Amino acid sequence: MEQVDLELRKEHQEKIKQVISEVGKVVVGQEYMVNRLLIGLFTQGHILLEGVPGLAKTLTVNTLSDVLKLDFKRIQFTPDLLPADLIGTMIYNQQKADFEVKKGPIFSNLILADEVNRAPAKVQSALLEAMQEKTVSIGETTFKLDRPFLVLATQNPVDQEGTYPLPEAQVDRFMLKVHVDYPSKEEELEVMRRMANMTFKSEVNTILSKEDIFSIREEINQVALSESLERYIIELVFATRNPKDYKLDQEAQYIQFGASPRASINLNLAAKAVAFFDERDYVLPEDIKAVADDVMNHRILLNYEAEADGVTTHEIIRQILNKVQITK
């Protein structure tokens, strides 16, 4: 394994702190969301943001793209959206008497799929190909998407009118599902002061280049994860599939399907990223626990009994973390 340049790694870790600081010039609070967005960026994992409107999801992603000097496109998903509106289409060029490709907004580095669950199945299918294969098919031609490529999708948990529930296969493609919460009183006070000031402008500096992002990915890849923690990840995921084997009898009655193997992969990657952000070259159990909810909450399918009893996947995961022990 290629050795990491320690000075370069230290420089990158400092730059990550600067990125968070620069975003904070525009966005008040939401450090947790920014942290999760960076985890996704540096581990090539798409992110689903769930929260009510007005919590600065779009502003955060837009500001982050400026700080990272990446191309950014916001796509508003609506029931009448067509696949061509997303990926592009073939148009006829009269001068050349031939068809040529007009690329859609998906050809960018950061894609904000706003209210992603409002688009019909064909659009979801086109987005799924881009997320999974990093390619787009227009006509008979397949195009590779520019790297890095990251889909940040949002959905409103309250308003379900005119929505299409995301297929389980697509939801599973998201590395993390992050619940964006309301700001604190002090944070909202600062938001009000900034946004009510019509002359407020805050310019951000570009901190990381594409080359920096690729280098950080390599450095995160070399963060050490012990065999005992690898097995701990597997035990956590298997506890969602066979809860009775882990003395989770009460939770077993609510789980219809457990987490897929992607949960194991993404727990590994996300935990390494958390360790790297904390300036460590090894993973601690706390790193795994810190990302367990975001990695698994959308991968556990509960039954109607859980809905009737008001049980959530967050409660299930909390009990799993309490019961599953690390074995040497």
Q: What is the pLDDT of residues 135-165, one digit of tens each?
A: 888 877 788 888 889 999 888 776 565 566 7
Band the pLDDT of 168: cuts 50, 70, 90.
Answer: confident
Domain that holds residue 140: 6-215
pLDDT of residue 1: 43
Boundary-marking domain end, from 167, 196, 215: 215
Same domain, 181 and 262: no
In the listed set 184, 215, 246, which residue is the last one of a domain according to the structure?
Answer: 215
pLDDT at 3 over 80: no
Residues 79 and 25 in one domain: yes
Average pLDDT over residues 99-109: 84
Burial annotation 93-115 (CB, 10 A radius, 16+ → b, else e): eeeeeeeeeeebbbbbbbbbbbb
The 10s digit of each residue's pLDDT in 63-92 is 888 888 888 888 888 888 888 888 888 777
Same domain, 132 and 60: yes
CB 213 within 8 A of CB 41: yes
Q: Sorting pLDDT into bands at 50, 70 and 90, what band is 221?
A: very high
Q: Are residues 202 and 90 in the same domain?
A: yes
Beta 255-257 vs 72-76: how paired, if at all?
unpaired
The pLDDT of residue 278 is above 60: yes
